[in-house]
Amino acid sequence: QVQLVESGGGLVQAGGSLRLSCVVSGLRFSSYDMGWFRQAPGKERESVAAINWSAGSTYYADSVKGRFTVSRDNAKNTVYLQMNSLKPEDTAVYYCAARWRAREMRPLEFDYWGQGTQVTVSS
**Span 48-59, mean pLDDT?**
96
| Local structure of 74: helix, strand or coil | helix
pLDDT tens for each residue of 8-21: 999 999 999 999 99
pLDDT over 90, % of the chain: 100
Contact call for residues 48 and 64 (beta carbons, < 8 A): yes
Query: What is the average pLDDT score of the chain?
Result: 97
Distance CA 45, CA 42 (A): 10
According to the model, what pLDDT value does residue 17 have?
Answer: 98
